[in-house]
A and B are shown apart, each in its own frame.
Chain A
Amino acid sequence: MINCKSIKNLIIECGGDLKKLTIAKSEVDALAAHINNCPECSKVMSRLSALEKLVAEDKIPAVPPAIASKIMARIAAEQNKCVQKKVLAVTNAEEMTLIEKIAALFLPKENRVWAYSIVIIIMAAALFLTLTHENNIPKENVIVKAGDKNPPETIDNKFKNNQPISNQNQNIAILENKAGTISNDDKKFKKCGFIVENGKLAAAGSDDEYLSNPAADLKVNYNGLATVIINRDSKFKFRDSGIDLAAGSLNIDIFVKNVIKFSVSTPESLVEVTGTKFSVSRKNNITEVSVQQGSVKVTNKITGTSEILKHGDKKIINKILKFQEKSNEAQTSEATIKNSIPLQTAGVELSTRKTDEATLKTDTKEIRNDTKVNNLIDKLKTNNMHEGN
């Protein structure tokens, strides 16, 4: 049953036009009859009609007459801009470098900055790798030992000259000491990881110290990771992860970079592997370290200072100087040492200005004359003792 309230909603819904209602025509007729007879529903109908009239009364200003021309002007301006962009793009394309043209083919403009950055980084990395590789190329470095009168021998030749183990079976594992021949299977060797590949060695006395053959170099292998050539007439001791060198010289070639822990110790210095190929010699209380490839860390045992030696570097550590400095420490002030006159003899320069480490920085060629070095050391010794007195 339809009541006046629901009729009111229907009238409002259709806006007073009953034909708009989705109901049967008979129902529309019945509704119209009710509205005509019902004052309340008639009132709704008339109010709604008046309301729609009032809404329709609201008129808007006329469309601005110039609106079409304004829009067309904007469109024309837009087209010109597009044409200019295209012309600019063509011009730019002509001015582009080859790299830019290649980048333009593959990348949108906004990504090209990244592409350029990546290319620059790759080029820089390539340059860096090239330079690094050049530094790693083994060079014929001269091993210079104090007192050597023979022409210098390259470290690489030294390694080559030692024949492989297979050809030297008869020489392998011969250890001579006062007590007799000792096998290379000596537990002391195994424990330390050293195997004699070529040459002979003899026990030097107590405390597991050995002497290499005065007639030939000794070649030893350390755990398959390094080859050590102990030059003739050297006095040394094997220990875990290294060799203690008392006298003579040795050359070390490390196969595995950055993995092996290996060091050579002399009374004055501790030479630790951080790179690959280097040599250490000790004579007359002077330890000389030279690096042919890679780098090593050298610690002055007297002063405790360390430094990294790189490819081509050489370091001499003199025990006597330090000893004398130490012995005169109570009487000789640092200022006195600083003020002492640097000694220069026949191209060899010794400087005592650095009191923290009595290192002698000498040119490779200059130190060849062992006599001169010894004389120089004697002079310095006398000078310092005199100042101390």
Chain B
Amino acid sequence: MEINEIEIIKKIKNGETSEFEHIITKYSKLVYSLAFRLLRNAEEADDLTQDVFFRAYRFLDKYNPEFKMSTWLSKITYNLFKDRFKVKQLNIVSNSISSDEDDKRNFEEKYADTGAGPYEKIEQSVKSRDIIAIINKLPDNYRVVVTMYFWGDYSYEEISQILEVPLGTVKSRLKRAKIYLYEKYSRLLEKWK
């Protein structure tokens, strides 16, 4: 943990609430990304992100500086997601495939980012969407691990801490998920031909 971050936390604990905005600014992308990947819904991801930081503020006394702030916030995100998932399981399944609006937004962003021609971009987008759909259809235990691994840039150890499962479990889940994805992708390649 950075020294600057320790100082910020001290100030917050001493009543300087406004300092918490620094924490939000620094980690909002990480929390929002994970929330969005898990929920696949921008609005819900927004709500979840707010809840995560709000909870982090309330329980800042319980934060152990030995761990990374990013890991602690991700853990809160995952726990809140689990709580919501119990209630909104059906909703999440229905949202696991991106809505038209999401597709449009994703396409526009990809189009703006890459220098490829429109045809290649559409083709790439469709393929990407198919892969994401496969990931979202994975059993939840696997989906969370894959999400954190591919997009969260977390190490195995961090994933293990966030999910509160043994390191070996994380590795085995990830390996099985990757093999499954590869097989599915291979079949898709045949389909795309």
Contacts and interface: CB of A to CB of B under 8 A. Distances in A.
A is bound by B:
yes
Interface of A: 9, 12-13, 15, 44, 47-48, 50-52, 54-61, 63-64, 67-68, 70-72, 74-76, 78-79
B131 A68 contact: no
A54 B18 contact: no
B150 interface: yes
A56 B151 CA distance: 7
Interface string B10-49: 0000000110110011001100110011000010001001
A139 B64 CA distance: 77
Nearest to A63: B32
B143 to A, nearest CB: 13
Nearest to B35: A60
A75 B110 contact: no
Top-4 shortest CB links A-B:
A57-B128, A68-B24, A63-B32, A71-B53
Contacts of A75: 17, 20, 54, 57
A72 B20 contact: yes
A161 to B, nearest CB: 83
Nearest to B106: A59
Given A54-B127, A55-B150, A57-B128, A67 B182 contact: no
B137 interface: no
Given A12-B182, A67-B28, A67-B49, A72 B131 contact: no
Interface string B113-127: 100000000001101
A76 B17 contact: yes
A13 B178 CA distance: 7
B128 A58 contact: yes
Do most interface residues of chain A lie in helix, strand or loop, or is the interface mixed? helix
B178 A74 contact: no
A51 B181 contact: yes
A60 B179 contact: no
Interface of B: 17-18, 20-21, 24-25, 28-29, 32-33, 36-37, 42, 46, 49-50, 53-54, 57-58, 102, 105-106, 109-110, 113, 124-125, 127-129, 131-132, 135, 150-151, 175, 178-179, 181-182, 185-186, 189
Do most interface residues of chain B lie in helix, strand or loop, or is the interface mixed? helix
Contacts of A57: 110, 124-125, 128
A54 B131 contact: yes
5 contacts: A57-B128, A61-B105, A63-B49, A68-B28, A70-B50
Nearest to B52: A71
A9 B58 CA distance: 45
A12 B58 CA distance: 42
B182 A51 contact: yes
B66 to A, nearest CB: 25
Nearest to A66: B46
B54 A71 contact: yes
Contacts of A68: 21, 24-25, 28
B46 A64 contact: yes
Contact of A47 (B18, B53, B125, B185): B185
Among A48, A52, A64, find the residue whose CB has the most chain B CB atoms closer than 10 A.
A64
A176 B3 CA distance: 115
Given A12-B179, A71-B57, A78-B58, 14 more contacts: A9-B175, A12-B182, A47-B185, A51-B181, A54-B124, A55-B132, A61-B105, A63-B32, A67-B24, A67-B50, A68-B25, A71-B24, A75-B54, A76-B17
B182 to A, nearest CB: 5
